[in-house]
Structures are given as C-alpha cells and as structure tokens.
Amino acid sequence: MNINEEKRNQWQALKGMGFKAHWDYFWDYYKIHVIVVVFGVVMLGMLIHDIADNKPYALNAIFVNANSLVGADSLVEGFTEYENINTEETAVFIDTNTTLSSGTGGMDVSAMEKIYAMIAAKELDTFLADAETFEGYAHNEMYLDLRDYFTADELSALGDKVFYVDHAEIVREQEEKQQKLESGELYSEEETESTPYTFERKDPSQMEDPVPYGIILENNELLNQCECYPGTIPIAGISASTERGETSADFIRYLLGNK
C-alpha cells in the first residue's frame, strides 16, 4: 500500500469522529503544509487587502464542487444590493473554483488545506456543496445549528428543504471510533467497500436529536443562473467558525429568494 492509499484509508476510518478528530489527524500529518499555505494565504491576503484598500469581508462563501464556468459575479452583486452592503468599506467574496473528491475520503489535499486555513482564520462564513460532500462534513460537525439564525416559522415554512442530521447518531459514531482508536483497532481493520451515495431527505420526526444543519437548494433559480451545480443537489450551511453568522444566514435567505 502506497502512502496515498494509506492516507485515504485513515481519512475513511476517521469518518464520523467529529471535526476535532479530523483536525488533529490533519495537523499531525500536514502541519508543515498548513504553515506554508497559511503563510501564503496571509501574504496573498495582505496583497489583496492592500489592493482593495484593506476592506474586511462582509461575507466570504465557498461553493465546493460548483462546476461553474460562469462564476458568481451576479450573486456577489445581487447579495451586495440585497444586504445593503457598503462596498467602500467591506467586500463580498464567493469562491466557485474549489473542488473536493466525493464524501470525506480521498480529498484533494490542497483544497482541504485552503478550507482549514479559512476555518482557522475564522474567515469562512457560508459553506455550500453537493449533497454528498455537505453531508460528510455535517457528520464532522462543520456547521452551526440553523435554529440559532432562522426562526421556527422560517424553518417550518421551508419544509423538506431543511437538511437534518441526527446528532445522537453522530455522538454514537464518535464514541465507537474513539473506542476503536484507543484499542488500536481503528487502522488494523481491512477497508470495506463504501456504499454508493444516494441522497435522501431525512425526516426529523424519525430522529432522536434532529439538528438542522443545511438548506437544500435543488433547482435554485439563482444558482442555475450562474450555472452552479448543474445536475446535482446543493446544500448550504453556516460554517462553525464564522463570526458573521447573521450575514451568512441572510445570504442563504437571498439564495432562497426571501426578504
């Protein structure tokens, strides 16, 4: 087994252990890469900020696996107007160029490093991805509970557009992985073939502890206009590290066409 296969197996083994376990593993293996990337991001950020008169972000969103050839300029302009953002003082940025492999295994390392660098800097606000990628990160507690930013009436009105994850299931997965890690079984087991991913809208009434982590944006008009996620089902959530949660929630409302 070569080193890349070993890393992919270890990433798969960590699935369900939570964001902290992934972060610890990632730091152990890639801290030199992270230091280099963070340094590069900081230097690039300084250059960009100098060019843009040192404007802080009003919103920094990432669309993973958007597969868009058009880009998000129209979304930036539309949300700037929607949110009454003063572009003389702050900036809106939407990245539609980042791609990751399906799920949580075999991820592209450079893209992952960029995402973790943004998280560490608390500069990632809205995370939007295809359903498989989004759900994988949801099981790693990557997002905030939408009940902290949307009212009960708003979530109720959205119906099955709200993407729920059973937090009790996440806890059990983490406990099981932790037990295997402590007993040394985690990396000794042979890798089993993963089941092909099929998206399904989960019923929160069938969950022990349902938590709304995302909003399903299937056939979304604004995303279609910028040719994002053709033929796929995207889901949007609020990054757990954001310091602009309210603005991030407003961006999701904007995508939904809500005032």
- Over the stretch 193-204, which tens digit does the pLDDT of each residue have? 567 888 989 899
CB 125 within 8 A of CB 237: no
User: Quick one: CA dihedral 220, 225, 227, 230, positive or negative?
Assistant: positive
**Cα–Cα distance measured from residue 14 to residue 187, given in angstroms and rounded to the nearest whole number:** 9
pLDDT at 187 over 70: no
**CA-wise closest residue to 117 among 27, 17, 252, 201:** 27
The stretch 114-126 carries a mean pLDDT of 91
The stretch 145-149 carries a mean pLDDT of 97
Strands 91-95, 57-64: pairing is parallel
2-16, 19-33, 90-104, 236-250: segment of lowest average pLDDT: 2-16
What's the pLDDT score for residue 66? Answer: 95
pTM (two decimals): 0.76
Who contacts 223 (Cβ-Cβ below 8 Å, separation ≥6)? 217, 229, 234, 255
DSSP 30-96: HHHHHHHHHHHHHHHHHHHHHHTTTPPEEEEEEEET---SS-SHHHHHHHHHHTT--TTT-EEEEE-
What's the pLDDT score for residue 75? Answer: 96
Q: Which domain holds residue 198?
A: 3-256
Retrieve residue 127's tokens: 């995370």
- Over the stretch 11-62, which tens digit does the pLDDT of each residue have? 555 555 656 566 666 666 666 666 666 666 665 665 555 544 568 999 999 9
Retrieve residue 10's tokens: 């270890």
What's the pLDDT score for residue 104? Answer: 46
Domains identified in the chain, total number: 1
32-41, 111-120, 230-239: segment of lowest average pLDDT: 32-41
